[in-house]
Amino acid sequence: MMEYFAVQGGRPLEGRVLVHGAKNSALPILAATLLADGESVIHNCPDLTDISAALGILSCLGCRVRREGATVLVDTTGRRDHVVPDELMGRMRASVLFLGALLARDGEAVACWPGGCALGARPIDLHIRAFQALGAEARSWNGRLSFWARRLRGRRLALPIPSVGATENAMLAACGAQGVTLIDNPAREPEIVDLQGFLRCLGAQVSGAGTGRITVVGGRPLHPGEYTVMADRIVAATYLCAVAAAGGEGELLGTDGAHLAPVLEALETAGCETGWEPGRLWLRRKGPLGGAGSLCTGPYPAFPTDAQPLLAAALAGGEGKSKITETIFDHRFRYTQGLVQMGACIQVEGDTAWIDGRPLHGARVEAADLRGGAALTVAALGAQGASQIWGLDHVDRGYESLEQGLRALGGRICREAAG
Ligand code: EPZ
């Protein structure tokens, strides 16, 4: 059934909302449950379609999974397979993370090439090279990838770019490699530190996450663990940008600003007031929203690429000029077409968008990807009049009922069924 967000914009927000657990932390953690026999317990696990896909993969591999509210329990005792099902592999790119865990446990893993958001080319060459460096043979035939290793051996891996997924897959595979693995130039995202936290709960010897070198002492049997996933910093950024777009004030609970410095700085440059303490983060905008100057996305701790569409959506409805350069993905400005339908003045040339803020009006728009759909929703809250945002299958991959969260902040938004 086709659904859309019906948004009535143009009114300041006021409210408070609890930020749910991080999709991009929960996904590698769920893959990591395969490293141990028994039941692991994951708290603050968001209820999203990508998480459902990950639980579906675990079930297909023979694990018993169940959800009790925000807690997911994964019992791997009955696991019997190492082939990730095509349908689920094709639904999201993070399915590739199961390869590292399966390789660590069984010495083999098979899957079709991963799917996911249409953010340009999304190769997995760095994942494959990491597995090969640890001693795995890789074969690609008939659209499928298969890896096999008699024995994985620890060694030094130097990533040419700090890929989040390749770092996570290298950590997972290294847990099954005999000896010490050094991962140099890893991604430093907070979600990598969260994965390290879970691996340690399983008894793994992992250190250095968040720095320039991650060390894994692998080859030892691991046991199930219990862990609480960090809050989703991109969902938090989404809510902040919604308040920035519409004006008013919003309080976010269950999170803080520790991992959002570049986003908070950009919003303050544009005229918002922000503040945070452990467990609480707030933003208010009483005056006009100005420009954010010139900013560039990059690997953590730089401005996060996932927050780029959200900030742009707020700035487009403001009164200032901004320039955003996207350095991570080569197709991450598709959402600007929807903003232009709302009256935005945005010039995109290659990896750079120039925004000349002006009042926006409601429109019927379609999401092309996850954060792009959230961005159009943010813009609609600041726009005068009614909007419809279609393509919620993208949005539901990364947000646990975005409309409920925005309503808690005072937004006039509801989910409607077509027809
Ligand atoms: C993760 O994707 C996130 N997804 C993305 O979030 C996020 O945008 C991205 O990291 C960057 O922070 C999950 O964690 C599930 P990368 P990932 O490997 O791991 C190139 C969202 O909205 N690359 O760091 O796929 C790649 O093409 C999603 O929640 C290679 O060339 O990102 C890209 O240009 C969107 N070869 C750059 O590296 C490889 O083998 C960064 O990709 C791997 C990546």
Q: For residue 189, give the nearest of 139, 282, 262, 137 by alpha carbon.
A: 262
* Sign of the Cα pseudo-torsion (64, 57, 300, 337, in order): negative
User: How sure is the predictor about 90, in pLDDT bands with cuts at 50, 70 and 90?
Assistant: confident
pLDDT, averaged across the chain: 95
Nearest CA owner, ligand 1 atom 25? 165
Task: Label residue 94 by pLDDT band (50, 70, 90).
Answer: confident
Closest CA to 101 of 52, 179, 30: 30
Of the listed ranges 82-96, 148-162, 223-237, the least confidently predicted one is: 82-96
Minimal-distance CA residue to ligand 1 atom 35: 306
Between helix 308-316 and helix 370-382 the angle, nearest 10°, is: 20
Mutate to test the pocket of ligand 1, among 164, 300, 330, 396 (most ligand atoms within 8 A of CB): 164
Q: Residue 325: which residues within 8 A CB-CB, separation 6 or more? A: 294, 295, 296, 297, 351, 352
CA nearest ligand 1 atom 18, residue: 163
- Using alpha carbons, select from 64, 62, 65, 96 the residue that is nearest to residue 82: 62
pTM score: 0.97
- Mean pLDDT of the region 138-161: 92
Q: For the segment 382-399, what is each residue's pLDDT rounded down to a tens digit?
A: 999 999 999 999 999 999
User: Could you tell me the two tokens for 215?
Assistant: 């060390």
Ligand 1 center from residue 383 Cα (angstroms): 31
Backbone angles phi, psi at 341, to 5 degrees: -60, -25
- Contacts with 262 (C-beta within 8 Å, 6 or more apart), sequence order: 295, 301, 302, 303, 304
Peptide bond into 301 cis (omega under 30): yes
Helix (H) or strand (E) holding 169: helix 164-174
Catalytic machinery residues? 117
Q: What is the pLDDT of residues 179-217, one digit of tens each?
A: 999 999 999 999 999 999 999 999 999 999 999 999 999
Residue with CA closest to ligand 1 atom 3: 24
CB 292 within 8 A of CB 298: no
Tell whether the model's pLDDT for residue 401 goes beyond 80. yes
Strand partners, 17: 252
Q: How confident is the model at residue 86 (pLDDT cuts 50, 70, 90)?
A: confident
pLDDT average, residue stretch 40-57: 96
Here the contacts of 326-329 (C-beta below 8 Å, separation 24 or greater) are 326/297, 326/351, 326/352, 326/353, 327/296, 327/297, 327/298, 327/351, 328/297, 328/298, 328/299, 329/119, 329/120, 329/122, 329/305
Q: Is the CB of 166 under 6 A from ligand 1?
A: yes
**Does residue 126 have its Cβ closer than 6 Å to ligand 1?**
yes
Residue 247, SS3 per DSSP: coil
State whether residue 25 is helix, strand or coil: helix
* pLDDT for the residue 84: 85
The per-residue DSSP string of 314-363 comes to: HHHTSSSEEEEE--S-SS--TTHHHHHHTT-EEEEETTEEEEE----B--
DSSP assignment of 188-215 equals --HHHHHHHHHHHHTT-EEE-TTSSEEE
Model confidence band, residue 144 (pLDDT cutoffs 50, 70, 90): confident
Lowest-pLDDT choice from 119-128, 143-152, 263-272: 119-128
Q: Is the pLDDT of residue 280 over 70?
A: yes
Closest ligand 1 atom to 119 CA: 35
Cβ–ligand 1 distance for 332 under 6 Å, the answer no
Cβ of residue 397 lying under 6 Å from some atom of ligand 1: no
In angstroms, the CA 269 to CA 277 distance is 20
Could you tell me if the CB of 122 is within 6 A of ligand 1? yes
Q: How far is the CA of 236 from the centre of ligand 1 (A)?
A: 19
- Which comes out higher in pLDDT, residue 113 or 120? 113
168 Cβ below 6 A of ligand 1? no
For residues 241-269, average pLDDT: 98
Q: How far is the CA of 195 from the centre of ligand 1 (A)?
A: 16
The Cβ of residue 359 has, within 10 Å, a number of other Cβ atoms equal to 14
The ligand 1 atom nearest the CA atom of 92: 15
SS3 232: coil
C-beta 161 within 6 A of ligand 1:
yes
Best of 131, 327, 328 to mutate for ligand 1, by most ligand atoms within 8 A of CB? 328
Residue with tokens 């494959």: 128
The arithmetic mean of pLDDT across residues 303-311, rounded, is 98
Ligand 1 center from residue 272 Cα (angstroms): 30
Q: Which of 287, 252, 251 is nearest to 272 (CA)?
A: 287
